[in-house]
């Protein structure tokens, strides 16, 4: 029981990871059966809720761990990344949208080796990153509900409902744009914070020498 209590937040985070493949399967099957599309939405909502729950559990039970600080953002990136790739492959999301978000996530992943040299709590997720994640979850939820057929271009913006507010895809695409803006702002803050902390670490090491 002690292990469960001390690692409850991390267990919730890992549940989000394990549910990711199930979401992809349901989305693909949802192309021919609407019931599977709703099942995919249910899994997606579960992932979105656990993204909030694990942080609340960790803080309220005072069980914030370095593992959680490092893995929780990665779990978010995996879950959102898999969702975005699936929607792009199903012609529901433009390529540029995928490149922006996955590029930002790749930047975060590449930064983790540098974070290991400093205190990870000092580069915990910024409010702009949380806003980006929340808005992207709303956007992706709307896109999941967009019924087939999907006729979006794999390389451009033709075939997407950017000008039809009567569709789920319209709201999903524009919420995605807003989420992407916050995501890029968050990435800039993240990079500047890591660079600043690394400089402080080098300065401290030089003084100690």
pLDDT in tens, 32-50: 888 888 999 998 998 888 7
For the chain, what percent of residues have pLDDT higher than 70? 69
Q: How many domains does the chain have?
A: 1
For position 130, which CATH number holds?
1.20.120
For residues 134 and 174, is the Cβ–Cβ distance under 8 A? no
Burial of 183 (0-12, 13-18, 19+ CB in 10 A): buried
Instruction: Look at residue 65 and tell me whether its pLDDT is greater than 60.
Output: no
Average of pLDDT values for 180-188? 86
pLDDT at residue number 140 = 92
Average of pLDDT values for 168-183? 93
Average of pLDDT values for 4-9? 56
pLDDT at residue number 184 = 86
**Position 141 confidence tier, pLDDT thresholds 50, 70, 90:** very high
Which value, in Å, is the radius of gyration of the alpha carbons in the chain? 19
HSE-CB for 162 with a 13 A CA cutoff? 11
Boundaries of domain holding 197: 2-208
At 67-114, the pLDDT tens digits run 555 666 677 778 888 899 999 999 999 999 999 988 887 877 776 666
**Position 143 confidence tier, pLDDT thresholds 50, 70, 90:** very high
The whole-angstrom separation of Cα 161 and Cα 110 is 34
């Amino acid at each position: 029981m002690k292990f469960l209590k001390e690692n409850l937040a991390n267990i919730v985070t890992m549940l989000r990871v394990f549910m990711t493949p199930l979401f992809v399967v349901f989305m693909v099957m949802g192309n021919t059966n609407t019931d599977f599309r709703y099942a995919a939405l249910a899994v997606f909502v579960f992932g979105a809720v656990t993204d909030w729950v694990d942080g609340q559990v960790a803080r309220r039970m005072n069980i914030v761990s370095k593992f959680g600080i490092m893995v929780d953002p990665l779990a978010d990136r995996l879950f959102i990344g898999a969702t975005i790739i699936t929607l792009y492959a199903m012609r529901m999301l433009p390529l540029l949208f995928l490149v922006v978000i996955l590029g930002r996530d790749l930047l975060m992943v590449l930064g983790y080796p540098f974070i290991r040299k400093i205190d990870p709590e000092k580069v915990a997720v910024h409010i702009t990153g949380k806003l980006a994640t929340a808005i992207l979850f709303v956007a992706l939820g709307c896109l999941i509900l967009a019924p087939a057929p999907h006729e979006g271009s794999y390389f451009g913006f033709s075939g997407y409902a950017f000008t039809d507010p009567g569709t789920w895809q319209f709201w999903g695409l524009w919420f995605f744009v807003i989420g992407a803006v916050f995501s890029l702002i968050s990435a800039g803050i993240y990079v500047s914070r890591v660079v600043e902390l690394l400089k402080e670490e080098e300065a401290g090491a030089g003084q100690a020498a």
